[in-house]
A = this chain, B = another copy of it.
Amino acid sequence: LASQAEKPKVYKGLEGIYVTETRLSYIDGLHSKLYYVGYPIEALAKNSTYEEVAFLLYFLRLPRKDELDLFKALMAEARELPEDVLNVVKKMVSLKAHPMDILRTAVSYLAAYDPEVGVNTPESNLRKSLRILSKAPSIIAAMYRFSRNLDYIPPRKDLSHVENFLYMLHDKRPTEFETKVMDTIFILHAEHGMNASAFASLVTISTLSDIYSAVVSGIATLKGPLHGGAAEAAYYQFKEIGSPDKVEEWVQKALASKRRIMGMGHRVYKSYDPRAKIMRELDGEIAKIYGGEPKLLYEIAIKLEEVALREFAEKGRMDIQPNIDYYTPIAYTALGIPPEYFTTIFTASRIVGWTAKAMEYLKDPRLIRPLDLYVGELDKEYVPIDKRG
């Protein structure tokens, strides 16, 4: 018992442990609030664009018009991909690689083409971040096109970030509403505290590695189904349920078999995820405008939320509520994006959060080097191989 008392505490999962200070975002998980640089997420989703939010996260203030114009031009300039990178994307698609594996590899490869590779000043880090941010949608559009045996559509410079992305995906300029939907998705995913992918990225930059490496770690981490994969899982869950009138029975079975409801619950939100609320409202509009599958998915989602929250409330679990991943599949479906690409779009948006955090950390960096607690035997005798039993 004495030795047990001396055993150090192990903070598995690091729940509740603060690892750095930030001015980027604040999540009030008890009161359904999220702020980027002090601005409520609702105001940004309503009024802003992804480029403006990116500027906000990089410079900690909203841009003037001339600044935003320059920033957008810089991003638009950087959209093109080297042919060799496109060839690797094509090859990986032909090998049926996971879209996140393709994105991870392509971004890693792009480091070799960066004109400032090896330079690690704050200014070059910002330019590198913008290059990665601008090229990520091109990579995703490329893999989507190749996977459908369609030609790659080169980027256009005269379109906004998300307009160009939708254009590269579908070879068609999107409507104003489609642009608004995609901007909202990109704004809502841009930054979200010290989640696992942001943290992996931070650990990487804490060794004074480089921005590409930090983003690659983020992609590698966001790939995990416990993190970036929830929207895709929520989509398949809605498809499995099939129609709103089957929800009640499905929930009873799910609860009986202790099956998790995908897209509900969050390590930090113990109330309704404010991003989910924004997406739910937008999904309502989408359902009206589009009908068809988006409408069906929306009706299933609304019914499932109602039934699940009622059941959870009865069990005293008021903390399990929809998160953003619950309500994005409906919008993605309306935009013609198949489920295997949901996580890549989350990633394309989140790159701004990872890189903004990396640059913030680099202002006062400290190597992240925790400990693990050894619980095995010590001083074992090395027995020669011919004497081992």
What residues make up the interface of A, taking CB atoms closer than 8 Å to B? 8-26, 35, 37-40, 43-44, 47-48, 52, 60, 62-65, 68, 84, 88, 91-92, 95, 97-98, 100-102, 104-105, 108-109, 111-113, 117-118, 193-197, 199-200, 203-210, 212-214, 216-217, 219-228, 267-268, 357, 366-386, 388-389
Contacts and interface: CB of A to CB of B under 8 A. Distances in A.
B108 A374 contact: no
Among A48, A112, A373, chain B packs the most CB atoms within 10 A around the CB of A112
B385 A26 contact: no
A221 B227 contact: no
Contacts of A367: 13, 196, 226-227, 267
A36 to B, nearest CB: 10
24 contacts: A11-B17, A11-B19, A12-B19, A12-B366, A22-B376, A38-B379, A43-B381, A98-B117, A104-B216, A193-B372, A194-B372, A196-B206, A199-B370, A200-B200, A200-B203, A200-B217, A207-B228, A213-B220, A213-B221, A213-B223, A217-B221, A220-B220, A226-B367, A268-B371
A368 B14 contact: yes
Given A10-B19, A48-B382, 8 more contacts: A14-B17, A17-B371, A25-B374, A91-B112, A105-B105, A193-B372, A204-B221, A209-B222
A112 B118 contact: no
Contact of A63 (B12, B35, B385): B385
B225 A14 contact: no
Given A18-B11, A26-B376, A207 B194 contact: no
B385 A16 contact: no
Contacts of A44: 382
Given A209-B220, A372-B19, A108 B98 contact: no
B10 A20 contact: yes
Q: How many copies does the complex hold?
A: 2
Contact of A204 (B63, B212, B217): B217
Nearest to A385: B65
Contact of A17 (B17, B39, B68, B104): B17
Contacts of A92: 109, 112
A68 B184 CA distance: 56
Given A39-B382, A105-B105, A207 B222 contact: yes
A171 to B, nearest CB: 26
A194 B374 contact: no
B371 A194 contact: yes
A65 B109 contact: no
Instruction: Across the A-B interface, give the 3 residue pairs with the lowest CB-CB distance, nearest first.
Output: A207-B224, A213-B220, A209-B224
A259 B222 CA distance: 39
Contacts of A194: 369-372
A209 B195 contact: no
A13 B206 contact: yes
A266 B16 CA distance: 28
Contact of A104 (B15, B108, B200): B108
Nearest to A84: B91
Contact of A19 (B43, B268, B371): B371
Nearest to A228: B207
